[in-house]
Amino acid sequence: MRDRPVVVLHDGEVPSPETMAPLQQLTQVQYTDEAGLAEALPGAEVLFAYHFTSKALPGAWHAADTLRWLHVAAAGVDPFMTEDVLASDVVVTNSRGVFDEAIAEYVLGQVLAFAKDLPGSWRRQQEQHWEHRESERVAGTRALVVGTGPIGRTIARLLRAAGLQVRGSGRRAREDDPDFTTVCAQEDLPRELARADWVVLAAPLTDATRGMIDTDALAAMRPGARLINVGRGELVRTDDLVSALRDEVIAGAALDVMDPEPLPAAHPLWQLPTALITPHNSGDFVGWRRALVELFAENLARWQAGEQLENIVDKTMGYVPGS
């Protein structure tokens, strides 16, 4: 492995030596940005997609003559699930487990922000306007978490600890789930949306989930419900959401992921008072970049020892089975 460097695809700025130390202790590293990917791939067996939103792989795939393993520094691998990757024998792994707790904390924070109207308090503070108001309780309210993988389960556990009643939506229905109690099948989503005060999207982006929250789904939600998306922006049809917020079909949306992304400056979502926008950073806690490298380095050590890799993605499903 040391005479076949691991290729690290970065976003234009080479990661710091401190961040990459766990990897550099195991092997040689060849850094490249998107423009140099095709030049870096020949002879490489391992590609570490540290630039986890890159769309450069299709244009460079012709140079991946010996590639055997692609690791994505994210839980979602959809940017890399090209036809060439799907048809190849290249093993794909993800970074499942790094972001779970931070994203769950973000979701709880947005629930509290809506219930206690923290954005409204901040606006009144800026205006130096003293206005007594009542707030909502979150205990006893009902949350539906769409996506029952590790992130969704961590969200469910934290919301339950705050007193919320939590149900899940996944590929298949089941009862007596340890985190959700009840999990409904995706085809039953409209009925479940009508029950929920909080709808949390934590599902992977697949053909089955793309655009799942559209005009009909939003109309099925309760008028006082809020939508929180920490999955992928493409899970939601953005124009339909804008209309639903403008027309008060639902009471609000907290969006850490959007379509398009980054959100253009003139996009109407910026101006909607019931939309809370964050720049795809719900999981980015202090030290997250180092944690991604440590997880990959642990898997690389298994690779070097001829052991089974962890977090292997089922390329036909788009995520790690059982997650």
Q: What is the pLDDT of residue 322?
A: 74
Evaluate whether residue 201 is within a structural domain: yes
Residues 177 and 238 in one domain: yes
Residues 93 and 171 both lie in one domain: no
Active site residues: 232, 261, 280
Residue 161 falls within a domain, yes or no? yes
Residues of the chain with pLDDT under 50: 1-2
What is the C-alpha end-to-end distance of the chain, expressed in Å? 30
Plot region of 278 (φ>0 → left; ψ -120 to 50 → alpha; else → beta): beta
In a domain, 315, yes or no: no
The predicted structure's pLDDT at residue 323: 55
Rounded to whole angstroms, how far apart are CA atoms 34 and 47?
12
What local confidence, expressed as pLDDT, does residue 213 receive?
98
| Domain of residue 160, CATH code | 3.40.50.720
Side-by-side strand order, sheet with 275-277: 174-177, 181-185, 165-170, 142-146, 198-201, 226-229, 252-255, 275-277
The SS3 assignment for 259 reads: coil
C-alpha–C-alpha distance, residues 18 and 67, integer Å: 27
Whose CA is closest to 253, among 235, 26, 84?
Answer: 235
As a whole number of angstroms, the distance between CA 13 and CA 301 comes to 26
Q: What phi-psi label fits residue 107: left (phi over 0), alpha (psi between -120 and 50 degrees) or beta? A: alpha
Range of the domain at 176: 100-277
- 3-state secondary structure string across 99-168: CHHHHHHHHHHHHHHHHCCHHHHHHHHHCCCCCCCCCCCCCCCEEEEECCCHHHHHHHHHHHHCCCEEEE
The answer to whether residue 320 sits within a structural domain is no
Q: What local confidence, expressed as pLDDT, does residue 2 receive?
A: 44
- Residue 134: the pLDDT is 96
317 falls within a domain: no
Type of residue found at 184? C
